């Protein structure tokens, strides 16, 4: 079997835009799709999500353009060899570009094997509890009303994207714990890398007293000394965003120096399932949970879902909300069920069918290796 053709498209559906921090404008969401066609008629595909402030993203698709010549004629099942050949040697590439290709190859491998990816990757389980991952809302009453709706839908865990201002964020944290004092409801807070060290410690200490499940991204991911200090001083797991530690060497070093009580990564930001599964395995070997980020459109959410189902050291699936903003162009979607869990897709590969006509209708940039 050989790779015969590669198609890349940047899809920009006209959906409502959201933000996750007071200092970000409402974000444009782009779904960069890769389709890999073989001479035996088997096709693999994947998508990566990108958020940008002022227009849709075409950069990721253009980065993939320069990888295509290294794919044509290759055996698509040689994923490790292909990933090693694609990785940048001199100047960096966006990790989502490598990830889209790598995940499409995994999808293809699952279809050849007749297995859903979580089984191909390890198959530790077929369901995982989900948390509702919110956009930034206007005020505390809006969040409290939203939590009511989420609990009615079956969620038993909620992560708040907030203003990323310590005093305002703590006002929300106190209000939700006062209204929902039961430990049956888990809460997390994501500060999107916006605090300084003093603010991070103050918020961490109070979130610990409020029995929040974790405190996410108070500092830039690369402030490893800051994370080590927070981890030393508080009991609540303080975890990174998962966006900025993009190589296994740095990830392994952070684990070795006990930077986090729980780690975090993502198949897109780690440049594919091939390295991301190694990151989760490193965390498992270190006795550390690895909370995989699964935000974005359905295809990248599915890839991360399969990754976490392959292991036992991931505790929650991140459910992007509201649903409709992330499900464009899909015949199959991933939604949290009334019992609070998401379940593994059972069809081969990623296990989600795409409405290609809808994707084509929202395409703003197309690259096709067959057209030169």
Tell me the per-residue pLDDT of 220-247, one tens digit each, with 9 for 90 and over: 999 999 999 999 999 999 999 999 999 9
Residue 183 pLDDT greater than 90, yes or no: no
Residue 34 lies inside a defined structural domain of this protein? yes
Q: 246 and 211, same structural domain?
A: yes
Task: For 284, list phi and psi in degrees, rounded to 5.
Answer: -60, -45
Question: What value does the mean pLDDT take over residues 361-370?
Answer: 97
261-308 tens-digit pLDDT: 999 999 999 999 999 999 999 999 999 999 999 999 999 999 999 999
pLDDT at 246: 93
Residue 201 lies inside a defined structural domain of this protein? yes
What whole-number distance in Å separates Cα of residue 244 and Cα of residue 25? 21
Q: 190 and 279, same structural domain?
A: yes
Over pLDDT 90: what percentage of the chain?
96
**Where are the alpha helices (H) located in 66-164, listed in sequence order?**
79-86, 95-113, 117-121, 140-153
Residue 41 lies inside a defined structural domain of this protein? yes
Residue 371 pLDDT greater than 90, yes or no: no
Q: Of the candidates 214, 107, 231, which has an alpha carbon nearest to the alpha carbon of residue 157?
A: 214
Over pLDDT 70: what percentage of the chain?
100
| Average per-residue pLDDT for the chain | 96
Q: 181 and 88, same structural domain?
A: no
Torsion of the alpha carbons at 347, 263, 169 and 198, rounded to the nearest 10 = -170
Q: 331 and 200, same structural domain?
A: yes
Question: What value does the mean pLDDT take over residues 310-324?
Answer: 97
* DSSP 8-state symbol, 234: -
pLDDT at 7: 98
Q: 271 and 227, same structural domain?
A: yes
Residue 350 lies inside a defined structural domain of this protein? no
Q: Is the whole-model pTM more than 0.95? A: yes
Task: For 259, list phi and psi in degrees, rounded to 5.
Answer: -70, -35
Residue 98 pLDDT greater than 80, yes or no: yes
133-172 tens-digit pLDDT: 999 999 999 999 999 999 999 999 999 999 999 999 999 9
What whole-number distance in Å separates Cα of residue 139 and Cα of residue 303? 33
State which H helix or E strand residue 51 sits in: strand 43-52
Q: 339 and 197, same structural domain?
A: yes
- Pick the range with the lowest mean pLDDT from 58-67, 182-191, 274-283, 346-355: 182-191
Cβ-based neighbours of 246, under 8 Å, separated by 6 or more: 95, 269, 270, 271
Number of domains forming the structure of the chain: 2
What whole-number distance in Å separates Cα of residue 372 and Cα of residue 366? 12
Q: 94 and 214, same structural domain?
A: no
CATH assignment of the domain containing 250: 3.20.20.120
Q: 232 and 367, same structural domain?
A: no
Residue 14 lies inside a defined structural domain of this protein? yes
Q: 242 and 126, same structural domain?
A: yes
What whole-number distance in Å separates Cα of residue 79 and Cα of residue 83? 6
pLDDT at 83: 96
What whole-number distance in Å separates Cα of residue 45 and Cα of residue 201? 43
Print burial letters for 201-226: b (CB count within 10 Å at least 16), e (below 16). Answer: bebbbbbeebebbbbbbbbbbebbeb
pLDDT at 134: 97
What whole-number distance in Å separates Cα of residue 277 and Cα of residue 300? 15
Residue 363 lies inside a defined structural domain of this protein? yes
pLDDT at 162: 95
Residue 129 pLDDT greater than 70, yes or no: yes
Q: Kindly indicate the confidence band of residue 88, based on its pLDDT and cuts at 50, 70 and 90.
A: confident
Residue 363 burial (C-beta neighbours within 10 Å; 0-12, 13-18, 19+):
middle
Q: 125 and 111, same structural domain?
A: no
Question: What value does the mean pLDDT take over residues 358-362?
Answer: 98
Residue 230 contacts residue 204 (beta carbons within 8 Å): yes
Residue length of the chain: 372
What whole-number distance in Å separates Cα of residue 41 and Cα of residue 235? 53
Q: 253 and 313, same structural domain?
A: yes
Residue 315 lies inside a defined structural domain of this protein? yes
Q: Kindly indicate the confidence band of residue 372, based on its pLDDT and cuts at 50, 70 and 90.
A: low
Q: Kindly indicate the confidence band of residue 51, based on its pLDDT and cuts at 50, 70 and 90.
A: very high
In this structure, are strands 341-343 and 127-133 parallel, antiparallel, or unpaired? antiparallel
Domain of residue 161: give its range: 119-343
Q: 199 and 70, same structural domain?
A: no
CATH assignment of the domain containing 92: 3.30.390.10
Task: Give the chain's largest Cα–Cα span.
Answer: 61
Residue 332 lies inside a defined structural domain of this protein? yes
């Amino acid at each position: 079997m050989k790779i015969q053709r590669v198609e890349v498209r940047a899809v920009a559906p006209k959906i409502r835009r959201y933000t996750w921090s007071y200092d970000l404008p409402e974000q444009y969401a782009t779904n960069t799709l890769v389709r890999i066609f073989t001479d035996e008629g088997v096709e693999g595909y994947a998508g990566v999500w990108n958020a940008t402030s002022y227009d849709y993203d075409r950069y990721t698709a253009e980065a993939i353009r320069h990888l295509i010549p290294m794919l044509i004629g290759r055996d698509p099942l040689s994923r490790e060899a292909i990933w090693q050949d694609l990785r940048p040697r001199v100047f960096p590439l966006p990790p989502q570009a490598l990830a889209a290709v790598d995940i499409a190859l995994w999808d293809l491998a699952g279809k050849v094997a007749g297995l859903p990816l979580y089984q191909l990757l390890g198959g530790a389980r077929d369901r995982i509890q989900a948390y509702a991952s919110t956009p930034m809302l206007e005020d505390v009453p809006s969040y409290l009303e939203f939590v009511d709706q989420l609990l009615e839908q079956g969620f038993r865990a909620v992560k708040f994207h907030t203003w990323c201002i310590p005093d305002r964020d703590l006002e929300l944290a106190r209000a939700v714990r006062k209204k929902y004092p039961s430990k049956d409801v888990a809460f997390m807070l994501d500060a999107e890398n916006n605090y300084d060290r003093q603010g991070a410690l103050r918020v961490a200490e109070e979130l610990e007293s409020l029995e929040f499940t974790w405190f996410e991204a108070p500092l830039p991911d690369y402030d490893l000394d800051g994370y080590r200090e927070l981890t030393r001083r508080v009991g609540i797991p303080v975890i990174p965003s998962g966006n900025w530690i993009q190589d296994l060497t740095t990830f392994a070093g952070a684990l070795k120096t006990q930077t986090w009580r729980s780690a975090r990564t993502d198949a897109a930001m780690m440049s594919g399932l091939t390295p991301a599964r190694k990151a989760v395995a490193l965390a498992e070997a270190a006795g550390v949970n690895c909370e995989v980020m699964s935000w974005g459109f359905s295809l990248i959410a599915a890839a991360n879902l399969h990754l976490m189902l392959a292991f036992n050291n991931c505790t929650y699936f991140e459910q992007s909300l509201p649903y409709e903003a992330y499900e464009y162009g899909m015949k199959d979607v991933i939604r949290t069920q009334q019992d609070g869990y998401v379940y593994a897709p059972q069809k081969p590969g990623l296990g989600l069918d795409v409405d290609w006509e809808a994707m084509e209708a929202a395409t703003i940039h197309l690259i096709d290796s067959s057209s030169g």
